[in-house]
Structure 1
């Protein structure tokens, strides 16, 4: 019994090659080259149909790619204007080649034994598969070619951006706004620049007072004269005029020249009193109308209330309220608590040490030590309370001080530093984070101010008869009560306000502060009230 050797694909391919070589008048090398060349030509034609992104410019040749390119002022060609491949032809070709390849594979697999024995059929399959592979490799190679182009595209894009002309009226693109930026000011206010207390620099002209305002302003712009030195080198009033010229020049470079034209700056304000006390880098002042409301009967006395405001009807409505109160019982007020607060923030190495500081301050005998060192810094201030609060390694010490008729912020700040030094003698590892740790709380809405108070906490009452409500306020008692409950109480509660259960107390407080020279920012806590 004999066994035949199994036939493999490799053996069949050898048989096909042998049969090709045995054909008469046939050069195998030429035949193979023709097949490969036909496959490559077909792939090249398919890939370049409809134009290619790698095509040379019109009228150009390969050498032109190596020549340096000149930046022209011509309008850049957008991506939408460039010739695009005919993707529908490529898509249709993909379908045809893929379908033909799969069909040939299925046909070969359906009767592989027969086709392997038939050299002619096997050659046909090999030719079809070779052409298909060449096409597939060539088509998917497009992605690599495009990646190479993308890498070099950003630089070309930058050149196009440089060549991009300004938009015209017909252009849909809005004009680009040019933003000019000035460098930071080289000068600083007197209160924060110790060098400003030194003598003027020798580079400053000795006859600076003889120069014109424009010439001095030019020196300031050139940084040959510091802005904050003008008041010392010149008369304070003239310093304001020179600074206005300098600032107007700076604003003009930003397209905002003349912005100070309507700002008053003449001798109506004594700038000598402002210097070093109220404001720095002065260019003028804002006149605010001051109205007088009253009289109002308060604790048996007639009181007039100055109010500085630009809000129409504020003084008139306040004056009408003063009239209604005076026509009634008058107002009676009582001070419940009087004490300005400052809460330094100190930090300890550990929470345990922070708790030790807390407990030390809570002892009455230790509070007396703090009280003594605090009051040694002032003739009027009296330390009333020191309430510590621990947050991890931090301790916030809320100091409450009686300051008399003054607000007393400078007074209590100086005393607070003395308290910290006293604590440092007992706790050497203590460090001051901030003199004001925001638990004061200064100029910010805070529940602690609403509950504990800050400054003078007062209660005021007044009885207004029904007839006065009707004749002066032009309404009725039930209407006022209903509005107060639903607006000031329920409405404020729904908004989650802190200390704002009133109509507009902040308006009145701020107007009085402005008219009397107080810090208007303090209205945040000063206007906390409920009506």
Structure 2
């Protein structure tokens, strides 16, 4: 029923503030405040220099000003800005909506229904025109002010329920559902997907919650198909042993990417024939490497040796001063102190062995480059753990030492750096072979003089002009990356592992060609990382270096060192083949044959008409004299 006033007295309009008066007061108080400050700035020094009866200048000048400023500030905090409030927005505030329409004190209320003529009058006086229909019962009788920002009047006024901005808007009676309270193994995939979409379950938790790794991958694929609105069917995911991947090699897995795998060889290395697995999508690469393997093998093979074996890690240490940093460098250089570091380092591993520490000072920083033999592992985790133990010894001697970062970038890992090129990192390898002139002609389809000339002009002078660091070769990175992908190495380490100097020169007989590659920083391992994955382990098996070295007379690291030699020998084969193609100008034709689909035959040269005057001149080329 409707509650209305019997007397139907009109509601009194709300009184408006005196905006003009408030604005005037704001201007006056602001002018007084600014003027008093200006007065003080101008007359401060004069007031101090003039003699006064009071010993304190504060009572003569500062005290009245302080009282004035206090009054101004009180006004500012209490009233300033009221006149600048948007009165329209203030009147439309939801907190005041409908309050002026409640019955005033003294007005009587009745539960009788309004006559029909009152309903008609309400329709006529509605501020929203014909769209407004006045309620006839079960609502409060209200008048709505035009411009209040509502398209239609509400049938009742509901009090605001303000709360903290960050409060949980879910009903208090509905407790949050936790993923720990749900057994996802018994749910259908669609139900699990629903929990992923609502956020009850995180996608990285799927393997643990479902217990079935392949199913977890399938559900995650469904999630990302929903999120991306794309079909992921081109990416395979079945038939893979994800048990070996989870917690070791990759996270948030949605499948795997198959890579073509080629085999080059046999390549005779130190008298042993070896086949080389190469995972690549670059056509002609395996074929070219295979041609180089043939040239080397028919020439009697190549010979390789590991000159240095030590992975590095260089923590950055901060000292209070450069003098203290220099003291750390001197302390490390003392043999007795180095023995303490070596003992601490070697206590963290059964296979690692500290081979040396090189200290470099830069201001207050000390970079200690630890060199560690890591057995058949590539060794980054091993050397990092040993470094932390050795730093504990240093901190006992230098309590003011602060470890800034376990890797200070002087290692240097996965970045071009001259220190790797000069001092080496991982396995430093050199490989050489002598290729008779007849083999260069029959197998490589080139000649010795042209290959030597091309190598000098391209790999030496060209690279020097480019400011290369370790890039004095034709395509070492191609071979390193292909073998790394196939054998489970860290592909990002091809940056430093591809450091290579290729040298071609006449042999002692003056006719044959002596060719060598020097690679100071090949970083490989046959255990750890991705080497345990099935396909990668199979490729290591092809090379005869799977797992740790075993058998009579085997030493820790033998397999890793042999793999580094295989990498170097494969680079030698590829360098031979590519340089022969470049010297004979066969490169483009080879790639068009092996790396491209057959192209349509071009139009006969006689049919082509070129207007030389219409050709766009290269603006970077200078004018050449016709004389």
TM value normalised by structure 1: 0.60
Aligned residue among 275, 279, 284 for 1:313: 284
Distance 1:288 1:250, change over 3 A: same
Aligned match for 2:296, one of 325, 338, 344: 325
Counterpart CA distance in 1 for 2:386 and 2:491 is 24
Q: Secondary structure at the residue paired with 2:276?
A: strand
Residue 290 of structure 1, CA deviation? 1.1
Q: Check conservation: 2:178, 2:200, Cα contact below 8 A.
A: no
Following superposition, the deviation at residue 504 of structure 1 comes to 0.5
The aligned residue for residue 431 of structure 2 is: 460
Q: Does 1:292 align with 2:263?
A: yes
Whole-angstrom CA distance in 1 between matches of 2:386 and 2:186:
47
Determine the structure 2 residue equivalent to 1:504.
475
Q: 1:238 aligned to 207, 211, 215, which one?
A: 215
In structure 2, distance between residues paired with 1:455 and 1:354 = 28
CA contact (8 A) 1:443 1:525 kept: yes
Matched residues in 1 for 2:180 and 2:435: separation?
A: 68
What's 2:314 paired with?
343
The Cα of 1:237 is off from its aligned counterpart by: 0.4
Among 266, 272, 289, the residue aligned to 2:238: 266
The structure showing larger relative contact order (alpha-carbon pairs under 8 Å, at least 6 residues apart) is 2
The Cα offsets for residues 5-27 of structure 1, whole Å up to 9 and x where unpaired, read as xxxxxxxxxxxxxxxxxxxxxxx
Q: Which residue of 1 aligns with 2:454?
A: 483
> 1:479 & 1:218 partners in 2: Cα distance?
67
1:208 Cα deviation after fit: 2.2
Distance 1:222 1:497 in 2: 52
1:249 matched to which residue of 2?
A: 226
Q: Aligned residue for 2:378?
A: 407
Preserved contact between residue 217 and residue 255 of structure 2 (Cα < 8 Å):
yes
Q: Work out which of the two has the higher radius of gyration on C-alpha atoms and give 1 or 2.
A: 1
- 1:527 is matched with 498
How much does 1:426 deviate? Answer: 0.1
Q: Secondary structure at the match of 2:368?
A: strand
Instruction: Tell me how far apart the structure 1 counterparts of residues 275 and 312 of structure 2 sit (CA, whole Å).
Output: 29
**3-state DSSP class of the match of 1:358?**
helix
1:420 to 2:391 alignment = yes
1:302 and 1:230, CA in 2 relative to 1: closer, same or farther beyond 3 A?
A: same
For the 8 Å contact 1:214–1:245, the answer to whether it is kept is no
2:327 to 356, 362, 369: 356
CA deviations over 1:440-479 (Å, ceiling 9, x no partner) = 0001110000000001101111011111111111111111
Q: Distance in 2 between matches of 1:482 and 1:249?
A: 58
1:108-127 equivalences in 2 (<5 Å): none
Taking structure 1 as reference, are residues 393 and 248 closer, same or farther at Cα in structure 2, changes over 3 Å only? same
User: What residue in structure 2 maps to residue 42 of structure 1?
Assistant: none
Matched, 1:334 2:305: yes
Using the TM superposition, give the Cα deviation of residue 221 of structure 1 relative to its aligned residue in structure 2, in angstroms: 1.8
From the two aligned structures, give the one with the greater helix fraction.
Answer: 1
Distance 1:302 1:324 in 2: 13
In 2, Cα distance between the equivalents of 1:304 and 1:214?
48
Secondary structure of 1:463's partner?
A: strand
Query: Residues 316, 461 of structure 1: CA spacing in aligned structure 2 closer, same or farther, 3 A cutoff?
Result: same
Post-superposition offset of 1:270 = 0.5
List gaps (5 residues or longer) in structure 1: 1-66, 69-200
Counterparts of 1:421 and 1:360, CA distance in 2: 14
Return the alpha-carbon distance in structure 2 between the equivalents of residues 271 and 233 of structure 1: 15
Please name the residue that 1:211 is paired with.
Answer: 187
Alpha-carbon offset, residue 360 of structure 1: 0.5
The answer to whether the Cα contact below 8 Å between 1:204 and 1:225 also exists between their aligned partners in 2 is: no
Match of 1:393 in 2: 364
Shift of 1:261: 2.4
Aligned residues: 328
Q: Secondary structure at the match of 2:435?
A: coil
CA deviation string 1:52-94 (max 9, x = no partner)? xxxxxxxxxxxxxxx99xxxxxxxxxxxxxxxxxxxxxxxxxx
- In 2, Cα distance between equivalents of 1:437 and 1:293: 39
* TM-score, scaled to structure 2: 0.51
Distance 1:211 1:381 in 2: 47
- Structure 2, unaligned runs of 5 or more: 1-87, 90-176, 503-627
**How far apart, CA to CA, are the structure 1 residues paired with 2:341 and 2:305?**
30
User: What is the DSSP-based 3-state SS (H/G/I as helix, E as strand, rest coil) of the residue aligned with 1:438?
Assistant: coil
Equivalent runs, 1:91-170 vs 2, <5 Å: none
What is the CA deviation profile of residues 111-162 of structure 1, one whole-angstrom value per residue up to 9, with x for unaligned ones?
xxxxxxxxxxxxxxxxxxxxxxxxxxxxxxxxxxxxxxxxxxxxxxxxxxxx
- SS of residue paired to 1:361: helix
After superposition, the Cα gap between the structure-2 partners of 1:348 and 1:474, relative to the gap in structure 1 and judged at 3 Å, is: same
Residue 443 of structure 2 is matched in structure 1 by 472
